[in-house]
Structure 1
């Protein structure tokens, strides 16, 4: 999956055109699905899409100061989708179903403020407030739907225009309460922002069902990413997905929820309970592996003091791999955003290998990592972050061509780990991956199969220049440089894997030293003597370097 946007994507109404133009390239790299930003009309012309105003306006009506959304017009969206489909790419809409923003009219109704840290605690008596809870969509004039939203369709809001006061207000009325089957942070985390949608109201459920099926039939979408899933009734999410799959006759309609918690137990509770009567029934939903993202961020920050053998500990891909969508970063974790926890650039290639080249998980790559992140503002050009298109393209090609079949892990050293993919009937070529998070080169002695004896293998990233030859028993020492990852595949006649990114002169000198040392000691069998350490610092690794491990050969060298 590819997340085709970042937070600072330009407000030039050209993004759907960019997608149409890039579809062929992305498909050629093996990408099979695109997660689009919210295509619906937001509360302002430059809205990223999460302050959603009108779900039915995909850049078609003059509303909130614009006809196109930030990303373009409805027609351009449909053209981009058609081009993606032509290349075999599925389309997932980002569905913002938790709230609505920027209502058209105010209404007066009973509400009560609740404590910010305990939404179950009412801190005052119910009283009249005035809020923008009336949505009439005058620019659309009832096209596609004549449903108009009113305060009875919401369970909370955050602004009393009468008192000019901001608070978390719980709306009072018949059958009014926050949903119980949501995350229990703050006592009850149903309310997040703006006008909080009440999915206990049957008219709201019917309207959302109608809109979802319109998206399927009008745009041919294959799935949805559910924004703010921890704040939405999971019973409703289950109901909606069941409705879409039944009405569209597509049991494989995909769904992934943004359930932003670091405790894998909370995620497991949402994906592993199959009791249809349980409030945690999941409706066959995937979830983003948030704990794994934080493992990556921690590993990148700590450098060699981080034990790579623990990289999957506490992750969803380890405990429920069939339900995990793995990722490195996204629009919320990028710098200056609400959930900023950006993975440092030096670790990105390692993380890419960990999500793209292993058996488990459904990997999702981020537009900002691939194409780059735009500046926070025109006045702050230094906040831009360059993309790593060449590196990620090589990783994707490795996945597309080589990452198949059974997997043997060599996760037996705190600073150097590796694994082997053995290929399958349709993709018989194997793959060996080795990575180091230390300031010294590393290697793993791994077995790729006796049937590959005599083959010459090379690093398809182009980082390690020396080839290796597979022994009669299928073993070889597969190397990588400091703070780096190498992807080893059988050498093909006439194919030379050029280095995907230029290194600094200091790096090149160090790499030559490392490879010469490896050549000189290629036949060493002892695992007791410490390897020579090259003290030149890797330019991207965290400082200070006083904790770098000096020994990267296997703890348990196998004969």
Structure 2
């Protein structure tokens, strides 16, 4: 069970191509114990609600009240399984002290049951404030009657008055962004200003200006809390939803559930941190995914040695608003062949994992696809599958669980070699030193881990760098890593040997041996060399060996 003094770490338990075999909740139940042991404290599950088909990932939301319980849209289970299996998986999470966050798709509804005729006006796709024709009657699937559920849990039925827009005129077989006309209608004002007004995204866009819609959503949210015991929501498509409504919803949940810590994180997909900061000014009740940091990682992976690692956090949310940032490397939208594809290069994944998991700020979220792997798009395209890095991520997560605590000193003083020290706290006093290189040369950092560690021998718990580091009487040591790699240095424990994560190729092994032989020969050399080492320490302590 997670200890109250441990770091919090989130795990996104799905990727876009997770098999539509209705077994995913069973997989979660089976993996909970392992995930808890390596330090995961919260699970973000995919949208558990019934989508428009048995293969729907969950973002084509049809019926929020159907979590694999009713025979609707092609079957009883969702892509991930049945309601009972979901509840069993959540109960297993609770046994291990793991919190559960539902992915809530509140922006739109898809695959309506019946058509209606009503007035609407088409707007320009690149500026939704501009009407491109006169209002006229269209025919659209905006009636949601949920015949398979027959009013269980809620007898609310949706019609066109509950939506602000739609994208398909069934009579004319015409696709456009249609703004629905009527009393108190129109797109929300408190949304992102991209395309003039980005309230409308897809399908039937939910109108939170309608009081009955707000009441229905409140009722559903509290049902999720009471029926399943969830601990938070991940809000999909946040920049397309009224910020005022989302702020109200979380205030309502926290009040009604008597849980001030009910968690919320939103997908506000903007590269500019100023856009994220502006949203937080209007809605401080929610965390945001650090999208700018993700793009920094993607750029660092592509640019290699030309990327200045001292700037890795520049323009990120974790730098400007660390208490509001959920940091991540990739997710289901950035993986290959998806709409926001910007997958971080594999060589940079270990560095990125250390940067989000082993530092003081941010709430890190690890992606299922990075950990377990990404399935092939289809059976006839096996080359699209991507293997997971379970062992590597597990080791870094274990370092977060056991060592990454307390004060932090940064050594961000070289464009290709950076490092930092975590000094531990009263519950985890051992400390941790991290050093990484994005160049084709090995690097080292002379870092101070504290006089209390004088005389200790430290080792790389990744198993990459085989030689040892000796802490001198003032607390300084020379911590190495290989080229394009990261090493995590901790005190050597008797009887504890860290196996190497992801064995290198024979060519890499030969290069590593040469690098370590050179390092041993120059272990006492305090002069700078030409292989990418840092030039000086960036904290305020003076190195007595210089």
TM-score by length of 1: 0.94
Structure 1 residues 33-79: Cα deviation after superposition (integer angstroms, max 9, x where no partner): 00000000000110000000000000000000110000000000000
Number of the residue aligned with 1:535: none
Structure 2 residue 516 is matched with structure 1 residue 505: no
Number of the residue aligned with 1:74: 83
Structure 1 residues 506-558: Cα deviation after superposition (integer angstroms, max 9, x where no partner): 0000000000000001111112x424xxxxxxxxxxxxxxxxxxx33334594
Number of the residue aligned with 1:104: 113
RMSD: 0.8
Q: 1:415-430 alignment to 2 at 5 Å?
A: 415-430=416-431
Number of the residue aligned with 2:361: 360
Which of 531, 535, 541 is equivalent to 1:554? 535
Which of 247, 250, 256 is equivalent to 2:256? 247
Number of the residue aligned with 1:515: 516
Structure 2 residue 25 is matched with structure 1 residue 13: no
Q: Indicate if the aligned counterparts of 2:413 and 2:534 stay in contact, CA closer than 8 A.
A: no
Q: 1:436-475 alignment to 2 at 5 Å?
A: 436-475=437-476
Q: d(CA) in 2 for partners of 1:556 and 1:367?
A: 36
Number of the residue aligned with 1:142: 151
Structure 2 residue 283 is matched with structure 1 residue 281: yes
User: Displacement of 1:500 after TM fit?
Assistant: 1.2
Q: SS of 1:121's equivalent?
A: strand
Q: d(CA) in 2 for partners of 1:451 and 1:36?
A: 43
Structure 2 residue 61 is matched with structure 1 residue 52: yes
Number of the residue aligned with 2:321: 320
Count, aligned residues:
531
User: Displacement of 1:392 after TM fit?
Assistant: 0.3
Gaps of 5+ in 1: 274-279, 532-550
Number of the residue aligned with 2:373: 372
Moved more, 262-271 or 436-445: 262-271
Number of the residue aligned with 2:337: 336
Number of the residue aligned with 1:548: none
Q: 1:136-535 alignment to 2 at 5 Å?
A: 136-271=145-280, 273=281, 280-282=282-284, 284-527=285-528, 529-531=529-531
Q: SS of 1:239's equivalent?
A: helix
Q: SS of 1:236's equivalent?
A: helix
Q: Indicate if the aligned counterparts of 2:353 and 2:393 stay in contact, CA closer than 8 A.
A: yes
- Specify whether residues 556 and 16 from structure 1 end up closer, same or farther in structure 2 by C-alpha distance, changes over 3 A only: closer
Q: d(CA) in 1 for partners of 2:171 and 2:131?
A: 20
Q: Indicate if the aligned counterparts of 1:445 and 1:554 stay in contact, CA closer than 8 A.
A: no
Number of the residue aligned with 1:114: 123
Q: SS of 1:530's equivalent?
A: coil
Q: d(CA) in 2 for partners of 1:96 and 1:308?
A: 36
User: Displacement of 1:451 after TM fit?
Assistant: 1.2
Q: SS of 1:50's equivalent?
A: coil
User: Displacement of 1:456 after TM fit?
Assistant: 0.2
Q: SS of 2:179's equivalent?
A: strand
Q: Indicate if the aligned counterparts of 1:372 and 1:388 stay in contact, CA closer than 8 A.
A: yes
Structure 2 residue 45 is matched with structure 1 residue 36: yes
Gaps of 5+ in 2: 1-9
TM-score by length of 2: 0.97
Q: d(CA) in 2 for partners of 1:428 and 1:472?
A: 18
Q: d(CA) in 1 for partners of 2:133 and 2:111?
A: 26
Q: d(CA) in 1 for partners of 2:521 and 2:460?
A: 19
Q: SS of 1:120's equivalent?
A: strand
Number of the residue aligned with 1:90: 99
Q: SS of 1:478's equivalent?
A: strand
Structure 1 residues 200-225: Cα deviation after superposition (integer angstroms, max 9, x where no partner): 00000000000000000000000000
Q: Indicate if the aligned counterparts of 1:443 and 1:554 stay in contact, CA closer than 8 A.
A: no
